[in-house]
Amino acid sequence: MSDKSQSAALLNAALKTLEDKVARKFAMQALRKGGRIVVKEAKRRVPVRTGRLKKSIILRAKSRNKRGSPAILVGASKDAPYAHLIERGHMQVGKRGKKFVAARPFLRPAFDATHDQFTRIVGDELGALILNESTRLASRAGR
C-alpha cells in the first residue's frame, strides 16, 4: 500500500469516528453561537416592567431533540414562569369580571428577525469548524 492510499484510509477511518462524537460537538458549538443572536434580540424586544423577564431569557442546549439531533432552546428560565402569558396573552379575572390581556410577543418576533442571520452564523461556524478539523486530521495523517 502506498503512503497516499494509507493516509487516505487513515483519514477515512478518522472521519468515520469523527462523525457522531465530533459532529454533535460542532453542531452544538455552531447552534450556541447563532442562538446568542436570538437571545440578544429577544432581550431587546421584551416588555420591561421589573426587568425580571428580561434577565430570565436564556439559551439552553439539548444534546438531542426528539429526532436525536442537537438543538437549542431560547426562552425564559424558571425565574419568570409567566413568560408565556406575556408572549401569548391571557385572561385576567378580577372583581369587575374577566378581561383579555393582549399578547406582547417578543420571542417569536426575535426569532423571525434574526432567522437569516442565525442560519448564516451557524453555517459559517460549522464550515470553519469542519475545515479546522479536516486540516488537523490531514496533518495528523501526514505524520
Q: What is the pLDDT of residues 66-114, one digit of tens each?
A: 777 788 999 999 999 999 999 999 999 989 899 999 999 999 999 999 9
| Residue 74 pLDDT | 95
- 3-state secondary structure at position 73: strand
CB 34 within 8 A of CB 121: yes
Question: Exposure of 136 by Cβ count < 10 A (0-12 exposed, 13-18 middle, 19+ buried)?
Answer: exposed
- Looking at the chain, the whole-number percentage of residues with pLDDT higher than 90 is 55
Whole-number average pLDDT of the chain: 85
Q: What is the DSSP letter of 64?
A: -
| Residue 55 pLDDT | 97
| Residue 98 pLDDT | 95
- Write down the domain spans for the chain: 21-141
| Residue 2 pLDDT | 57
| Residue 24 pLDDT | 82
Between 101 and 143, the more confident residue is 101
Between 104 and 19, the more confident residue is 104
- What is the CA angle 102-82-61, rounded to 5? 115
Q: What is the mean pLDDT of residues 118-126?
A: 90
Q: What is the mean pLDDT of residues 14-35?
A: 78
